[in-house]
Amino acid sequence: MKTKFLNYILITAITFLSLISSGQETINDQQKCKEILQLVSNSIQKNNASKFSFKLEINSEDFNEVQNGYALIKQDQFYYKTEEREVTSDGKNVWTYIFEDNECYIDLITDLDNTINPSEIFTIWQSGFKFKYISNKKLGNDLVHIINMYPENPKESKYHTLIMEVNESKKTINQASIKTKDGVTIKIYVNSLINNPEIKSDQFIWISNKSSDVDVIDNR
């Protein structure tokens, strides 16, 4: 159960690197936020692939956890690795390999409840959310905008509030804070972003012989 939950959390967090409606958002607020986020989307989507390193903090009533790792995204395919696991997807299948247990779980991406493909990281905001512009700040020479995102249909969403820090100067997301309705807070910090990295031809397919005697649990 924890494995699937953490897998969902990790994929969701990476996806939003890439958001209770207050009822006070103005049309200008909405348009301003969309224009800022579109800058990021345009910058990322023009690349064939992206690689970023991240720090992830997960806090809930039951546990607190910090993980560091990196992710690769190419179209609908993705790969990420942390200290505990590596997750690989060809856009249809998801292989989750747990290092300590020497186990690999195989699922169809459509069977992972509420999981969003990380390839949508910079476009997820385009539908299903309302926005509120909070403020901006300077980080060195960079201009960073703070934007709150709220589900348009709160009853149908797992999310309560998402807070995005968007770096306009670098056209990327510095960090995101995701609060779910079941009391989980996920914070993801983007440490670095590389556009068009070199990617191996088999990067998005899990190779079973990378570990001897691996226990494969195929849930498809």
In order along its 220 residues, the chain shows pLDDT tens digits of: 445 555 555 655 555 554 322 334 455 778 888 889 888 878 777 778 888 888 888 888 888 888 899 989 888 888 989 888 898 999 899 999 999 999 999 999 888 754 545 555 566 677 788 999 999 999 999 999 999 989 888 888 777 888 889 999 988 888 888 888 888 888 888 888 888 899 988 899 887 766 668 899 999 9
- The three-class DSSP label of residue 60 is coil
Q: What is the pLDDT of residue 135?
A: 93
pTM of the model: 0.74
Domain residue spans of the chain: 2-201
Q: What is the pLDDT of residue 159?
A: 77
- The three-class DSSP label of residue 68 is strand
- The three-class DSSP label of residue 120 is helix
Q: What is the pLDDT of residue 175?
A: 87
Alpha helices in the chain (DSSP H): 2-15, 27-45
The domain defined by 2-201 carries CATH number 3.40.718.10: no
Task: Tell me which residue of 200, 198, 220 sits closest to 210, measured CA to CA.
Answer: 200
Q: What is the pLDDT of residue 1?
A: 45
Kindly compute the dihedral angle of the four CA atoms of residues 12, 196, 70, 118, in this order, to the nearest 10 degrees. Answer: 10
Across the strands, what pairs with 157? none
From CA 127, how far away is CA 156, in angstroms rounded?
A: 14
Q: What DSSP string runs through 133-173?
A: EEEEEEETTEEEEEEEEEESSGGG-SEEEEEEEEETTTTEE
From CA 97, how far away is CA 72, in angstroms rounded?
A: 16
- Residue 91: CB partners within 8 Å, gap ≥ 6? 75, 76, 77, 109, 117, 119, 204
